[in-house]
Amino acid sequence: MDEHSAITLSASAITALYPYVFFLDPQQEITWASPAVRRVLGSDPVGKDIFDVVSLPISGQGNRLQDFGQDRRRMFPIKIITPNGPLPLRALCLCSDDNAIIGLVAEPDLSTLEQLERFDIRMDDFFINDPHLDLLLMMGELTASKADLNNAVEELNRKQAELQEAGSYRQQLDARLKELVDQRHAMLNMIEDVEAARAEIQDLNKGLEKRVQTEIEKRREKEQLLIHQSRLAAMGEMIGNIAHQWRQPLTEVGLVIQDLGDAHRHGELDEAYMVRGISKAMQITRHMSRTIDDFRNFFRPEKTKRKFRVRDSLERASSFVESAFRNCGIRIELAGPEDITAVGFPNEFAQALLNVLNNARDALIERKVQNPVINITLFQENDRAVVTLADNAGGISPELVDRIFEPYFTTKEPDKGTGIGLYMAKMIIEKNMGGSLSVRNINGGAEFRIELAGAPAA
């Protein structure tokens, strides 16, 4: 079949649907025009180029009929150039099976009555029986049948349904677009709120940083104050210990001087007697001088950690308070090997020991314990040096045991305790020396446990 064989509608069927019909040859010259076309033109346009009769809208490639024939379902505007002026119509392209354009069908735009009056559009334009068209179709081996007409009507109904569906889909798209626009506005508002909140948070962070820095400075000042108070308290304790340490030697020196006087009165003072008395007095004063050196070195700050024998620090701390404790009737019993070592600050470790010992002494005196004793035990456990200090003062109240290391916490009267001794001991052991200090109740008293990192073997 040639390109006209794709048309399966008769002239009556075509013009019943579209009154304005053009059939075209491959060169787009008009081979047949419907009576409505001939009437508005006032002549038969057969043989003319379609663009001499019809004007098309501008497409992407110019005035190309092929651009509008690609979508057979889409109607496009055209104008028939008539003696009375351009007649606006809505058109569709007729295409063969191989998509070649073989015709153009159009219907009037009935939206205004002006066109009906101006171009005398009549209903009989929609129903014609042109023998020339029938002959043309027969020559092109085109046959119309009732089934073809039904198919055409079904096709038109399908196109109309598709157009309606497209309209409904467009409404859905419009609704969705509106929803997206609303969401965009909501998102923009949310972004503005987030930016405002972020700016507010930044301001809060700046204020918080200042507050944190201020609190850190205050805490540092408090710690410095606690350290200063602890040193003053320790110095007070040391002065008391020095007094106890010197009381007996001073008594002995006094006795030596008194003996020399008695010997002189009784004529027994010779050179040898004098040398013995002076030698004994000098020995006592040298011992007192060493005591002063020990106390002075005790308060000397240490900048670097070093390896030390734990037993030496225990004996040193015990010797500082031995005389004062003896006057209170308190015994200190020390047990443990000599070779256990640790790494840290021996002077600070001894100060922590003194704070724990003084706390135990105050508890023993306050509770008037019979046969008061403090047992200091040294041993090694899992490469760590462990020291326990246990008293027989009856232990710590369960509701207070978790608070005794808090600064300024004390159960003593204001003039007998500052509440910083055990706090400073914990700071020294844990913060400065990387160890641990804990307490628990045992049978008859409390036990403080100090753990230090052991020194590596040489």
pLDDT digits (tens, 9 = 90+) for 292-303: 665 666 556 667
Q: What DSSP element (H or E) covers 50?
A: helix 50-53
- For domain 302-453, the CATH class is alpha beta
What is the separation of C-alpha 407 from the centre of its chain, rounded to a whole number of angstroms? 35
Mean of pLDDT values over 165-193? 82
Q: Do the domains 3-144 and 302-453 sit in the same CATH topology, yes or no?
A: no
267 φ, ψ to 5°? 70, 20
Q: How confident is the model at residue 167 (pLDDT cuts 50, 70, 90)?
A: confident
Instruction: Note whether 31 and 39 are within 8 A (CB).
Output: no
Question: In the prediction, which pLDDT does 403 show?
Answer: 86
- Has residue 248 got a pLDDT over 80? no
pLDDT digits (tens, 9 = 90+) for 50-94: 999 998 876 544 456 777 666 666 788 889 999 988 888 888 888
User: Once rounded to an integer, what is the mean pLDDT over residues 111-138?
Assistant: 50
Place of tokens 């092929």: 66
DSSP 456: P
Task: Of 2, 20, 229, 217, give the one whose Cα is nearest residue 125.
Answer: 20
Q: What is the domain partition of the chain in residue ranges?
A: 3-144, 302-453
Interval 123-146 mean pLDDT: 46
219 pLDDT more than 80: no
The dihedrals phi and psi of 83, each to the nearest 5 degrees, come to -60, -25
What count of other Cβ atoms lies within 10 Å of the Cβ of residue 191?
10
Question: Given a cut of 70, is residue 192 above it in pLDDT?
Answer: yes
Residue 309 pLDDT > 70, yes or no?
yes
Report the percent of the chain where pLDDT is more than 70.
Answer: 71
- Comparing CA positions, the residue from 435, 440, 404, 434 lying closest to residue 422 is 404
pLDDT score, position 380:
93
CB of 446 closer than 8 Å to CB of 391: yes
How confident is the model over 310-342, as pLDDT tens digits? Answer: 999 899 888 878 878 888 899 999 999 989 999
Determine the pLDDT at residue 7: 41
Q: What is the pLDDT of the chain when averaged over all its residues?
A: 77
> How confident is the model at residue 406, as a pLDDT?
84
CB-based contact 415:236 (threshold 8 Å): no
pLDDT digits over 368-404, tens only?
899 999 999 999 998 899 999 999 999 988 888 888 8
DSSP structure class, residue 267: T
Domain 3-144 = CATH 3.90.1200.10: no
* Alpha-carbon gap, residue 59 to 127, rounded angstroms: 33
Q: Torsion angle, CA of 56/59/62/63, rounded to 10 degrees?
A: -20
111, two tokens: 């939206």
